[in-house]
Amino acid sequence: MHLSDPDTKIYVAGHRGMVGGAIWAHLQAAGYTNLVGRPSGELDLRDPHATRAFFEAERPDAVVLAAAQVGGILANDRYPADFIGNNLAIEQSVIQAAHDTGVDRLVFLGSTCIYPKHAPQPMPEDSLLTGPLEPTNQWYAVAKIAGHKLCEAFHRQHGDDMVTLMPTNLYGPGDDFDLETSHVLPALLRKAHEAKGAAPEGGDAPVTLWGSGTPKREFLYVDDLADAVRFVLETPEEELRDAAPDGMLNVGVGEDLSINDLMALIQDVVGHDGPVEHDRSKPDGTPRKLVDTSRMEALGWEADTSLREGIEKTYDWYRAHEDEFVASSVE
């Protein structure tokens, strides 16, 4: 199956989040007119009975499973049961309901944190389950591995057209800027912005990085992921399986940089001239995370948003919504 009709009914699970919202907007812009979504307040995807009833009523042709509980190192450490339990429940409910109601194609959004801590760089899809995970996000990683394996199992046993995209570290408009739960890029963007002019003498206050700042990361602008989802939905199954027999496709940009270099770029975009300090009592996490994007490139897709351009767009969005984050942090 692949999409060819703008009237194809597509259910975007998690359409109110950063990722799901970007996918929804991108599909609309591409001409798809029959999109379906439900906010979590109306449909709890952890509930298999409610999820099955929704699928029975709506009968989507395709599903994009972008709903998940996400967060950075601190959130994973504080809420391990939530990260593994809620994500497993969402995956089981949605994937089972998609199978039971005959969905033509399901695209599951995984994460590159599923790969071993010391996977070869760049990380190929077949490095999955070849070594221990990074302990700081193992709960989320285990849930995402299970989600992919569930898709793989339904394909192997029943022939269901289910594929998994593994995006690298995502960022963009709509990101989580709460310093308790956010990932590294939005956290540093907010810290640099709030440090401007915050020193006692009126200059820029210092910004503190966790760990040494030497780990290297790859960052993908969320609109590029949305384009990759559309591309995969529109690609015939036989072409996808030729490139990815296991149904796994990494989505990245093909280059990385150290957290220290990321901080320098953010400082340049934000206009922060203060010092950068390091809290070495905090963990570094995986030393490097760069994905092998050769499968998606063979299919004909590449990301096209530079890191500077993406950060500039994200910073513009943050400034437009800054009052919301300031208000939530003092409640």
Write out the H or E segment, with its range, that includes residue 164: strand 162-167
| Side chain identity at residue 209, one-letter code | L
The angle subtended at Cα 204 by Cα 198 and Cα 209, nearest 5°, is 95
Q: Which of 87, 86, 65, 83 is nearest to 74 (CA)?
A: 83
With beta carbons less than 8 A apart as the criterion, state whether 39 and 90 touch. no
One-letter identity of residue 194: E
Q: Is 104 helix (H, G, I), strand (E, B) or coil?
A: coil
The pair of structure tokens assigned to 323 is: 């009052």
Q: Which of 11, 32, 115, 140 is catalytic?
A: 140
Per-state percent for the chain, helix, strand, coil, to nearest 5: 45, 15, 40
Helix 80-100 vs helix 138-158: crossing angle, to nearest 10:
20
80 cis-preceded (ω within 30 degrees of 0): no
Q: Is 294 left (phi over 0), alpha (psi -120 to 50) or beta?
A: alpha
- Catalytic annotation on 140? yes
Q: Count of CB atoms within 10 A of residue 112's CB?
A: 24
Residue keyed to tokens 């340049």:
268
Residue 166 tokens, joined: 């593994």
Q: Is 292 helix (H, G, I), strand (E, B) or coil?
A: coil
Angle at 2 between CA 160 and CA 107, to 5 degrees: 55
Q: What does the DSSP 8-state code read for residue 123?
A: B
Under 8 Å between Cβ of 7 and 239: no
* 259-270 helix and 184-195 helix, angle to the nearest 10 degrees: 40
Residues annotated as catalytic (active site), given as ranges: 140
